[in-house]
Amino acid sequence: MNITELARILRISPQELRDLLPELGFAIGQKAIKVDNNTAKKIIRNWPSFRRQWEQRKAAERAKKKDEEILPKEKRTIQIPAVITVRALAEIAQIPVNRILTELIKNGVFASINEKIDFDAASIIGSDLNLDVQLLEEDDDSEEDEEKKLKDILDLEKPEDMELRPPVVVVMGHVDHGKTKLLDSIRLSHVIDNEAGGITQHIGAYQVVRNNRALTFIDTPGHEAFTAMRSRGAKVADIAILVVAADDGVKLQTVEAFRIIEAAKLPYLVAINKIDKPESDVMRTKQDLANKLNITPEDWGGKIITVPISAKEGTGIEDLLDMVLLTADAALGDTLRANPAADAAGTVVESNMDKAAGPVATLLVQNGTLKVGDQLCFEDVIYGKVKSLKNHLGENIKEAGLSVPVKILGLKISPSVGDILYVGDGKKLKMRKIKSSDVKKEKIMSIAQQENADDNTPKVNLIIKSDFLGSAEAIEESLMKINTEIVKVKIISKGLGNVTEGDIKRAEDSGAQIICFNTKMSPAVENVARNQNITVKAYSVIYDLIKYVKEEMQKMVPVEITRVDLGKLKVLAIFRTEKQQQIIGGKVVSGKPENNATVNVWRGEEFVTTGLITSLQSAKQEVKFVEEGEECGLKFEGEPVILEGDTLEFYREDKNVKTI
């Protein structure tokens, strides 16, 4: 058969056929014009499998050629922070993100483009990508503080353009002293009904009007586990309300909240809540404030306003709002000013990834007016255009003015809580260069890894999956706080969204448990977790989550065994000897031997055996112990080798487990 005819049948060029046939075991030569019929039939019959081999080879050649085009021709040096997202690494390396992900998977790291990897993982894949990956040293002098950014924006405004803006109020206090119920009463809504266990799980911002003046309230979680969220709330607030229950007084979390208020230098007032309860005592609560927090109420000659209220009954709420406005006028005056006509700028108070809407952020507008269609930037990088604005009631609005909290849809990137977003031109994400502030953020994210450096301390390995970024950060910070010298929490990774098979694989490799907060797991992933025997715990209340982790830590606390010497007994008689026990009599020569004690048997200076005393009698009565100088009978369980004249050394082993 003619080579050209065979190539036509096989749908391949004659030259490609000549090149391919020797590889398939048919040595016909490069100048061959014909092949014999038997060889042609064999080639045609086996061509499907031959073609697959050929296509795979061609695909490999194309991939190799493309890889050579993608990867740097010469080894390139890049600098990255201690922890970096896959996306950011791809931008810095100027290599497609899919190529980075492929290399990570080859090395057993299953990560999405927005997940963070550490420097070691980046270095390992860098060697395969012709990259010399170096750790970027942080220049402390170039770090830019978030609050300073906003101040710089306001400083550029002309005084004549500035107007008074509504004050922003943060509500703080103990976990169950009624903060959310207070806000519920203020805005006549029922947010607390939607909160798991009545405990606020996310930062929320709400606005109300009193005497034709707007007030913005920031609701922060109240338990000690949410120090990070409360601190973050204090950064954007102008005034604080410290809530203390009249029936409970100042608690540990109350003190913690007060310290945050002091550190933020916020003017504040105290709301004494739950005065409707029979056991409430306002005077005792004020005394508690004075003794524990050094707060002297205004009616006692001090400067701090205290307002008795009942959030449940609605008593004293209007007085509280009036006092908030009075505090704002007296303590802040004209400092609460901004330019409503300027391009908007504000602080992110919550951020999450919505399955349908994508990145969603709650922004507190602190200067200008934010409108639908505005382009928002962070550090000169475009984060997206505002497609939709929703107020605290969930209603669509076209613009948001000064001190208005608003939910933004349309972002391409999830901002971090505390980021300052502003309207501007900025640069596209692909143009982004790494900055010192990026390093700062990445290093903050790596606190857990730094604090959990490998050592011999027992660790509870965890993978955290959360619905909101603020919750994830608060959980991480809270878990770091419960670390001890004897057992620690090690966060292997944390991320937003539902549990994936990648999380299961990561948990299997690291021996970690997966902790979900307000996230779910598909039946398929649940089956994988069950088959791999991976523990997955889901929570909707952060307090319960922290409690569970503490219990897991407690299980890992090493048991300390302390030996307590009880006394010695001289064996005077052997009454009965059986296979594994003896009945003997003796006299206590020192100490106070106890029943159910362990004994060492000594014969002169020679150790004989160890056993257990299961019965101790004195004057034919069962007793718990025998005093020095008394004679007694006892049952010894163990190797029956005791002889008259032996000495029994009584002791017990106390197991001490430290409570974390």
DSSP for residue 394: S
610 — phi, psi (to 5°)? Answer: -125, 145
Residue 583: burial class (beta carbons within 10 Å; 0-12, 13-18, 19+): middle
Q: Which of the residue ranges 63-67, 72-76, 228-232, 634-638 would you say has the lowest mean pLDDT?
A: 228-232
Q: Look at residues 125, 24, 136 and name the one whose alpha carbon lies nearest to residue 78.
A: 136
Q: How far apart are CA 204 and CA 352, in angstroms?
A: 13
- Which of 68 and 206 is assigned the larger pLDDT? 206
Three-state secondary-structure class, residue 243: strand
Q: Look at residues 337, 343, 383 and name the one whose alpha carbon lies nearest to residue 360.
A: 383
- End-to-end Cα separation, the chain, in angstroms: 85
Give pLDDT tens digits for 350-383.
777 666 777 888 888 999 999 999 999 887 788 8
105 — phi, psi (to 5°)? Answer: -60, -40
Confidence of residue 53 (pLDDT cuts 50, 70, 90): confident
**pLDDT value at position 158?**
78
CB 472 within 8 A of CB 517: yes
- Which of 194 and 266 is assigned the larger pLDDT? 266
Q: Look at residues 628, 143, 216, 641 and name the one whose alpha carbon lies nearest to residue 404.
A: 216
- Which of 571 and 619 is assigned the larger pLDDT? 571
**pLDDT value at position 595?**
93
**pLDDT value at position 492?**
87
Give pLDDT tens digits for 236-271.
789 999 999 999 889 877 887 888 888 778 899 999
Of the chain, the percentage scoring pLDDT greater than 90 comes to 29
Residue 107: burial class (beta carbons within 10 Å; 0-12, 13-18, 19+): exposed
Confidence of residue 66 (pLDDT cuts 50, 70, 90): low
Q: How far apart are CA 536 and CA 552, in angstroms?
A: 13
Residue 40 has pLDDT above 50, yes or no: yes
Q: How far apart are CA 84 and CA 443, in angstroms?
A: 9
pLDDT averaged over the chain? Answer: 80
In the predicted model, what is the mean pLDDT of residues 605-618?
Answer: 94
Handedness of CA 407, 410, 414, 418 (dihedral sign): negative
Three-state secondary-structure class, residue 92: helix
Residue 451 has pLDDT above 50, yes or no: no
Which residues on neighbouring strands pair with residue 399, listed in sequence order? 371
Q: How far apart are CA 623 and CA 618, in angstroms?
A: 6
Half-sphere exposure for 253 (CA within 13 Å, toward CB): 22
* Residue 451: Cβ within 10 Å count: 13
Of the chain, the percentage scoring pLDDT greater than 70 comes to 82
CB-based contacts of 266, cutoff 8 Å, min separation 6: 170, 234, 237, 238, 239, 240
Give pLDDT tens digits for 483-534.
888 888 988 887 767 788 888 888 888 889 999 988 878 888 889 898 889 9
Helix or strand (DSSP H, E) at 653: strand 647-656
Centroid of chain to Cα 127: 31
Confidence of residue 455 (pLDDT cuts 50, 70, 90): low
